[in-house]
């Protein structure tokens, strides 16, 4: 699986940070977990519906994913405001998480994977 593969089902449809013309050497931890779940055949990216984004859903998973996914993400230190606890970020300052976070939350919420399944991708 190459980075171009998960761009199609994670980055383009769900990530506000994705820039088609920009070459990014890193992937968010959520995309890495999703790639592993695809390799383990726990999800089939070709069989996934196009989900609607829902910011209320992200808040539901912020603590869980912050611990298991965001803590190990290469973008956390310098680029991620979503898991920031700083006052300028506000309680829920309408900051959108990365596409990997969004798609993982949607997959759990829509019963495509469960927390046990997610943990196999960690």
Which string of DSSP letters, residue by residue, matches 63-109? HHHHHHTGGG-TTHHHH--TT--SGGGTTT-S----HHHHHHHHHHH
C-alpha 52/C-alpha 102 separation (Å) is: 10
In-domain check, residue 22: no
In-domain check, residue 71: yes
In-domain check, residue 44: yes
Take residue 12 and report the two structure tokens written for it.
Answer: 């383009």
User: Based on the structure, what is the number of domains in the chain?
Assistant: 1
* Domain extent for 57: 3-17+27-120
Query: pLDDT tens digits, residue range 71-122?
Result: 888 887 777 777 765 555 455 556 888 899 999 999 999 999 988 888 877 7
Are residues 12 and 19 in contact, defined by beta-carbon separation less than 8 angstroms?
Answer: no
Query: pLDDT tens digits, residue range 19-66?
Result: 887 766 678 899 999 999 999 999 999 899 999 988 888 888 888 888
In-domain check, residue 104: yes
pTM higher than 0.85: no
Query: pLDDT tens digits, residue range 7-19?
Result: 889 989 999 888 8
Distances (CA, A) of 114 to 5, 24, 122: 23, 30, 13
């Amino acid at each position: 699986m190459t980075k171009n593969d998960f761009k199609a089902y994670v980055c383009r449809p769900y990530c506000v940070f994705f820039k088609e013309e920009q070459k990014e050497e890193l992937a968010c931890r959520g995309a890495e977990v999703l790639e592993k779940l695809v390799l383990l055949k726990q999800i089939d990216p070709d069989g996934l519906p196009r989900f609607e984004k829902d910011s209320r859903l992200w808040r539901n998973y912020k603590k869980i994913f912050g611990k298991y996914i965001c803590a190990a993400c290469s973008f956390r230190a310098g680029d991620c405001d979503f898991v920031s606890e700083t006052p300028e970020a506000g309680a829920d300052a309408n900051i959108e998480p990365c596409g990997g976070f969004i798609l993982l939350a949607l997959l759990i919420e829509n019963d495509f994977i469960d927390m046990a399944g997610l943990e196999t991708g960690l």
